[in-house]
Amino acid sequence: MTETRPEFSFIHWLEQNSRPTPGLVLGIGDDAAVLSATPDEWVVTKDVITQGVHFDSSIPLELVGRKALAVNLSDLAAMTARPAAAFVGLVLPRQMERDAVEQIYHGLQTLADEWNVTIAGGDTNSWNGGLVISVTLMGTVAPGTAVRRDGAMPGDGIFVTGPLGGSLASGRHARFSPRLREAEILKQTVTLHSMLDLSDGLGSDLFHILERSHVGARIDGDAIPIHTDVDPLLTHWERLLQALGDGEDFELLFTVSEADGKRLMESPPTGVRPIRIGTVTESRQAVLLWGGMEREFPRSGWSHGFGRTTKKGDQQDS
Note the pLDDT tens digit of each residue in 156-171. Answer: 999 999 999 999 999 9
124 and 252 part of one domain:
no
Express each pLDDT in 46-84 by its tens digit. Answer: 999 999 989 999 999 999 999 999 999 999 999 999 999
- Residue 151 maps to a domain: no
User: What pLDDT was estimated at residue 301?
Assistant: 74
- The CATH number that applies at residue 197 is 3.90.650.10
- Residue 305 maps to a domain: no
20 and 119 part of one domain:
yes
Which domain, by its residues, includes 177? 157-296
245 and 280 part of one domain:
yes
What domain count does the chain have? 2
Query: 86 - beta bridge partners?
Result: 119, 137
- Residue 186 maps to a domain: yes
249 and 125 part of one domain:
no
User: What pLDDT was estimated at residue 212?
Assistant: 96
User: What pLDDT was estimated at residue 276?
Assistant: 98
Cβ-Cβ contacts under 8 Å for 16 (sequence gap 6 or more): none
User: What average pLDDT does the segment 186-214 reach?
Assistant: 97
58 and 10 part of one domain:
yes
Q: How far is CA 29 from CA 85, 100, 210, 234, 266, in A?
A: 15, 21, 44, 53, 52
- The CATH number that applies at residue 108 is 3.30.1330.10
- In terms of DSSP H, where are the helices of 92-179? 98-114, 167-170
User: What average pLDDT does the segment 287-297 reach?
Assistant: 95
- Residue 278 maps to a domain: yes
Q: How far is CA 161 from CA 85, 180, 249, 281, in A?
A: 26, 11, 10, 21
DSSP class of residue 67 equals H
Q: Which of 92, 179, 174, 74 is nearest to 131 (CA)?
A: 92
User: pLDDT band at 9, cuts 50/70/90?
Assistant: low
95 and 195 part of one domain:
no
165 and 116 part of one domain:
no
Instruction: Note the pTM of the prediction, 2 decimals.
Output: 0.87
- Residue 275 maps to a domain: yes
